[in-house]
Amino acid sequence: MDVDTLHRIAESRDARFDGRVYLAITSTGIYCRPSCPAMAAKREHVRFYRTAAAAQRGGFRACKRCRPDASPGSPEWNLRADAVARAMRLIQDGVLDREGVGGVAQRLGYSERHLTRIVTDELGAPPIAIARAQRAQTARTLIETTRMPFTDVAFAAGFQSIRQFNDTIRQVFALTPTALRGRVGSEPVAGGAITLRLPARAPIAWQPLLAFLAVRAVEGVEEVVGDHYRRVLDLANGAAIADVSQRDGAITCALRLDDVRDLAQAVATLRRLFDLDADPVAVDADLAADEALAPLVAARPGLRVPGAAAPHELAARAVLGQQVSVAGARTLAGRLVAVYGRPLDEPDGALTHRFPTADALAGAADDDLAMPVRRRETVRTLMAHLADGRIDLGPGADRTAARAQLVALPGIGPWTAEYVAMRALNDPDAWPASDLGVRHALARLGLEPAAAERWRPWRSYATFHLWSSL
């Protein structure tokens, strides 16, 4: 976007651009969301940044009113498939905090120096600064929603020392940790849960998303109770139980973590699962331009494409669901959870197990895989490839390579590869053209599969509209 466009965005207070661009005011030394009601400055005093990290690197601190550091993520990182976008998805998932810049670079096939250069050139801040900004937001969440000692908060958020934690909080928020906690008067939450708001751009079609997950909920791992989706997350340092609902148009979540170091990863996982970084206005506008799809879009504005809690889980369930009903696939998955899933130390009602690991499913016995021999071998082979890294379906995966690797395995065809791309890889342009539901919905609209070409790059959203119309 050129400078005039950016200024028009700032002047319009358009919330759709929160998280996509940040405004810094040289006269006050703060940076804001475009929608900030307090933001009023002459053009010559306004600077624009691609990330909160770049604004912080420029010497600006976060606005206390609009909290730009807590903006929704940019939809750009899911739409794009290049190295910078893949790096951003890995950083958001906490990989840099766990494995360092070298770990992110290795996953992408680059040197640390090259990765740092391309990220800094495009985003105005190196990977370490982007991760630092994320740590600051994680720390703020823990400061405001728990009574954890600040020493524990610092290390849980990924800081290497108390001094680094204190300096970062002061620099980013212009407050000490004590003052930041005092502003909200936080109290400990019952059961040790952390309650937080998951920011998203409006509108959000919550009920269709909830209904899709409800009919596929696997016993022991997930459930839908009323307006709440509850499930077990298997994270880097332990398990977590997430309870997600919509209140007053916002998505809220209560998280009970075995290890608070997993907070950032849990949030990133839930954001992908509920597609919370989408720009629904842009998606809906493009799809509604097609006369055939326009009524479907009008019926469900803000429809999201559900992602996955874990890539290998989604891949396994996709193969289990080949040529059987949704209920049948769910039943089989529940049996595998009961046999191979790891029991929770503290079960929570119907939530009792983590979903089995890829290693465990790769070694599943014949009697536990009640399906044709060929599909049984497909499950084992796919899980073995995921367990040893021959196939990557994680946040930093190369989507084109992943598709090719999937269809190269016996028993995996285009439908399975596209379904995995849609949900595990969060590809907004996946298209399972052979899906029976898609074909039936297209026939009702009088359309041929080739019509999907005009829905690029949002064919995943078009698919979900077609499914929802049934």
pLDDT in tens, the chain (470 residues): 788 899 888 888 888 899 999 999 999 999 999 999 876 778 899 999 999 999 999 999 999 889 998 889 999 998 999 999 999 999 999 999 999 999 999 999 999 999 999 999 999 999 999 999 999 999 998 898 888 899 999 998 999 899 999 999 999 998 999 998 886 544 444 457 898 889 999 999 999 999 999 999 999 999 999 999 999 999 999 999 999 999 877 899 999 999 999 999 999 999 999 999 999 999 999 999 999 999 999 999 999 999 999 999 999 999 999 989 999 999 999 999 999 999 999 999 999 999 999 999 999 999 999 999 999 999 999 999 999 999 999 999 999 999 999 999 999 999 999 999 999 999 999 999 999 999 999 999 999 999 999 999 999 999 999 999 99
CATH of 311-469, one of 3.50.50.60, 1.10.340.30, 3.30.499.10, 1.10.287.130: 1.10.340.30
Could you tell me if 354 and 232 are in contact, meaning their C-beta atoms sit under 8 angstroms apart? yes
Would you list the domain boundaries of the chain? 3-70, 76-184, 191-275, 311-469
Q: Which spans in 289-325 are helix H? A: 294-299, 311-320
Q: What angle do CA 298, 279, 35 make, to 5 degrees?
A: 110
SS3 content of the chain, % helix, strand, coil (to 5): 55, 10, 35
Specify whether domain 76-184 bears CATH 2.40.110.10. no
Predicted local confidence at residue 246, as pLDDT:
94
435 is catalytic: yes
CA distance 396 to 83: 8
The domain made up of 191-275 has a fold known as TATA-Binding Protein (3.30.310)
Could you tell me if 220 and 353 are in contact, meaning their C-beta atoms sit under 8 angstroms apart? yes
Among residues 32, 36, 63, 66, the one annotated as catalytic is 32
Among residues 234, 277, 284, 435, the one annotated as catalytic is 435
pLDDT in tens, 87-110: 999 999 999 999 999 999 999 999
User: In this structure, which amino acid lies at residue 132?
Assistant: R
Q: Which spans in 232-310 are helix H? A: 263-273, 280-288, 294-299
Secondary-structure class of domain 3-70 per CATH: alpha beta
Kindly tell me the burial class for residue 306, based on how many C-beta atoms sit within 10 Å of its own C-beta (0-12, 13-18, 19 or more): buried
CA distance 145 to 322: 43
36 is catalytic: no
